[in-house]
Amino acid sequence: MQSYQMYIWQAAWLNANLDKLELGMTLEPELLSPKYTAQWKLIQDSWKMGDHGYRGNGILHPDIGCGEYLDKHSIEKAKIRALAMGRTPKRLGIKTLVLTGFVVDADPFLHWFDPHKLRSIHFKGHCIDAGFWLAHSMRQVTVRHPKAIDLEAVPTGILSLNLWKDLKVVGLKGGKKVEEVTLGEVEKCRS
């Protein structure tokens, strides 16, 4: 599949007042190499941010797996393209970045996001940590990620429902309610 990151980032560079950007990949990343499966973790549940050192760009090498990085090079090329169309800030002024389905390292944040404006990074789902960390200048940034939801059964009272009396059939004419009868009344009319 073709990546549209460069075009999205070009629009972001040209929209200086852009506060929130939500990006989602069509296909979630998949790691095939046992080496990287052991090193890179899915950003969810008990994940903690650290400094892993690896930096990537573009798409994952086929030996590693399938997926796309949040690409510092695409962001840089988009800035150059945007400069040809007009003024751009030195760094992106996005306050909230929401990501789904990316392989993420530190470089895009270190190079292209304004540390005084970025407030929140929300990993919604299927993002992989390939060396994501934030510089000290971004210590105020909130990083959110999916948490496991405990779906324990909750006891409730028994709901007594009589379909013949409680279920209603509504007649509409011109989008307005003109008639309302119970299912039991409808059944009586049929007999």
Model confidence pLDDT, tens digit, residues 149-182: 555 666 666 667 676 677 777 777 887 888 888 7
Model confidence pLDDT, tens digit, residues 103-152: 999 999 999 999 999 999 999 989 999 889 999 999 999 999 887 655 56
Per the prediction, the chain carries an average pLDDT of: 84
Model confidence pLDDT, tens digit, residues 82-96: 999 988 999 999 999
Which of 6, 12, 8, 4 is CA-nearest to residue 89?
A: 12
**What's the token pair of residue 91?**
């760094």
pTM for this entry:
0.72
